């Protein structure tokens, strides 16, 4: 197969991932939208950060990030304290309640994936992880240089 058809196929397959994510989201607690989990995962993985950094990691506009963060704060999953280096900024940090939620969600996600992918080999899951991680970075690098949400 030439590379052109592979790209076309990839575009179709990426569309199908949406369905998988939706399915996965069904196992979340009712007061916990999927977007919140994504943000919390990033705060868990990369630690304390500013709004603008989180927006960059999420690859969404800061205005949207701002609303998500306000929700996370309202639900008591993160703490916001002033950035000593810049009075305009606040630093975001996952707190113990958020960590607890994240642990619970991770367990549910893991169970849901195990139920669907039980017949996958460990290696295949690892390969998919590698390729998806690479896809993310490839797109992030290219995305910055093209047109994207406001601040870019």
Query: What is the C-alpha separation between 108 and 117, in angstroms, rounded?
Result: 14
Per DSSP, helices labelled H in the chain are: 3-25, 34-46, 51-58, 62-74, 96-116, 122-145
Q: Which of a second copy, DNA, none interacts with 52 (beta carbon under 5 to 8 A by kind)?
A: DNA
Cβ proximity to DNA, 23 vs 130, nearer residue = 23
Copy the structure tokens of residue 106: 């991770």
* Contact status: 99 vs DNA (CB under 7 A): no
The residue behind tokens 């630093």 is 91
Cβ proximity to a second copy, 24 vs 62, nearer residue = 24
Query: What is the C-alpha separation between 97 and 31, in angstroms, rounded?
Result: 14
Q: Which stretch binds a second copy (CB under 8 A): 68-76, 77-85, 89-97, 129-137?
A: 129-137
Q: Which of a second copy, DNA, none interacts with 67 (beta carbon under 5 to 8 A by kind)?
A: DNA
User: What letter does residue 49 receive in the DSSP assignment?
Assistant: E
Cβ proximity to a second copy, 82 vs 143, nearer residue = 143
Q: By the criterion CB under 7 A, which residues form the site for DNA? A: 18, 22, 33-36, 50-52, 58, 60-64, 66-70, 83, 86-90, 149-151
């Amino acid at each position: 197969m030439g590379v052109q058809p592979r790209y076309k196929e990839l575009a179709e397959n990426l569309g199908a991932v949406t369905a998988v994510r939706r399915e996965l989201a069904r196992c979340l607690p009712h007061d916990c939208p999927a977007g919140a989990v994504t943000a919390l995962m990033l705060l868990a993985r990369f630690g304390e950060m500013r709004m603008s950094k989180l927006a960059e990691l999420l690859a969404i506009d800061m205005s949207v990030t701002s609303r998500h963060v306000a929700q996370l704060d309202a639900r008591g999953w993160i703490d916001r304290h002033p950035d000593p280096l810049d009075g305009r900024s606040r630093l975001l940090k996952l707190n113990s309640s958020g960590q607890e939620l994240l642990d619970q969600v991770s367990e549910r996600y893991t169970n849901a994936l195990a139920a669907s992918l039980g017949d996958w080999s460990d290696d295949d899951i690892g390969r998919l992880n590698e390729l998806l991680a690479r896809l993310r970075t490839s797109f992030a690098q290219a995305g910055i240089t093209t047109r994207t949400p406001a601040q870019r």
